[in-house]
Amino acid sequence: MARHIVDPTSMHRYTDETERVARAALEYARDRLRLHPVPLDGPRTAAELEDMAGATITEDGLGGEAAMRLFADVLAPAIISIDNPRFLAFIPAAPTELSMMFDLVVGASSIYAGTWMEAAGAVYAENQALEWLARLAGLPESAAGCFVQGGTIGNLSALVAARHAHRAARGAGAGRLRVACTDETHSSVATAASVMDVDMLRVAADARGRMTGGALAAALEREGTGGLFAVAATAGTTNAGAIDDLTGIAAVCREHGLWMHVDGAYGGAALAAPSVRDRFAGIEHADSFIVDPHKWLFAPFDSCALLYRNAEPARAAHTQQAGYLEHVQGSELNPSDYAVHLSRRARGLPFWFSLAAHGTRAYSEAIEHTLHVAREAADEIRSRPHLELLNEPELTALVLRRTGWAAADYTAWTERLLADGVAFVTPTTFAGETATRLCIVNPRTTIADIAAILDTMA
């Protein structure tokens, strides 16, 4: 039987069709960047997409132009736009136009950004952005780190470094290792503990959902410090934006020789806002710290900045050993040596580009603006007799109750808002009851947007 011969280089040539697809892709990206606001859109069922899209992977291919049309006309409208100003669920995103545009450049540049030798220019730029974040947190000049996929990998990598430092100082020892946290600590810490096969020491949170130094000390007095290698503090909880008592926690960590990790994936961006900077007092004592630029620092997905006060424990914990890596090892600037990864894209570059282009003042002003809108939104909630604000917002997360509603009412309301293209707001659990929450990180979100959403709860 004759074998069908194809040109094995055909996929890697810039042809006339490639030119047409490039123009279509760039036109789509340009038009998407110009949309204000972007459409909210929404999900479809698998059956609906099967009817509309059919088989997308075939033996002979659809052709680039047809595949691009399929994405633009069928698949993209089935994706909720997280940068819509009325996307207020979870932690939204609001990437700048320049950061999204530069993401195209990063994708087209085929950068392996794991080592300094192979990506010196990219790593240098990423490190400039990391240095700015380190200064905001008050970390010393010795601070170093890298960009990883998201807060889950950032928290895991920091805790792996903490465990390594603990074992190096105290030996393997007997018994189980533990990390201290509260029930408000991000779920990724529990995931990290499971992956690392360590236990969690639960510290009672206060009425605002914060870990305090006093509660941590009480937990250690009650449970002992055996096997405890780290405390996972939070600078802006996902649910309510609460900031732990970082100064008190730092004092307890110093007393007992514990690694202090601070998860600022959401809230850490507010370090750039002078009006709330004092709420983060104590963060300068952190041994490790994360913040996600793809949340409140206006970068595209996916990007988490991971920083260490002292980089040596991180390098000792994470540097991979292999014969083929020997030639690129030895540099203190290899991003692959700071986290649970080896292959990595230069995911910090879009953030760096936007920061370099717009300047840090623009970032501070944009964050301050969202804080102002959140305060206005809190007043708007308080002014409505059928609504109750359940948290006094420290940042931009607001949890509210609609009197008389049960869990099913919140769910039905969420689904109706999305189906009508009004907004995307999801239920949550707060203090043991179902409520809903708004999280404002998009400078384009206005108090009029908030009022229009609240009107639908009347």
Q: In this predicted model, what pLDDT tens digit does every residue of 75-122 receive, in sequence order?
A: 999 999 999 999 999 999 999 999 999 999 999 999 999 999 999 999
Q: What is the pLDDT at residue 20?
A: 97
Q: What is the pLDDT at residue 172?
A: 75
Residues of the chain with pLDDT under 70: 1-5, 174
Domain ranges within the chain, ordered by starting residue: 15-76, 110-321+330-352
Q: What is the pLDDT at residue 5?
A: 60
Cβ proximity of 205 and 215 under 8 Å: yes
Q: What is the pLDDT at residue 180?
A: 98
Q: What is the pLDDT at residue 11?
A: 94
The label of the residue with tokens 């510290």 reads 203
CA-CA distance, 69 to 205, in Å (whole number)? 51
Q: What is the pLDDT at residue 335?
A: 97
CA-CA distance, 198 to 167, in Å (whole number)? 13
Q: What is the pLDDT at residue 1?
A: 47
Q: pTM (2 decimals)?
A: 0.96
Q: For residue 314, how many C-alpha atoms fall within 13 Å in the half-sphere facing its CB?
A: 30
- Its CATH architecture, for the domain 110-321+330-352, is 3-Layer(aba) Sandwich (3.40)
3-class SS letters over the chain = CCCCCCCCCHHHCCCHHHHHHHHHHHHHHHHHHHCCCCCCCCCCCHHHHHHHHCCCCCCCCCCHHHHHHHHHHHHHHHCCCCCCCCECCCCCCCCCHHHHHHHHHHHHHCCCCCCHHHHHHHHHHHHHHHHHHHHHHCCCCCCEEEEECCHHHHHHHHHHHHHHHHHHHHCCCCCCCEEEECCCCCHHHHHHHHHHCCEEEECCCCCCCCCCHHHHHHHHHHHCCCCEEEEEEEECCCCCCCECCHHHHHHHHHHHCCEEEEECCCHHHHHHCCCCHHHHCCHHHCCEEEECHHHHCCCCCCCEEEEECCHHHHHHHHCCCCHHHHHHCCCCCCHHHCCCCCCCCCCCHHHHHHHHHHCHHHHHHHHHHHHHHHHHHHHHHHCCCCEEECCCCCCCEEEEEECCCCHHHHHHHHHHHHHCCCCECCEEEECCEEEEEEECCCCCCCHHHHHHHHHCCC
CA-CA distance, 369 to 133, in Å (whole number)? 20
Strands 304-308 and 387-389: unpaired
CA-CA distance, 283 to 330, in Å (whole number)? 30
Q: What is the pLDDT at residue 4?
A: 60
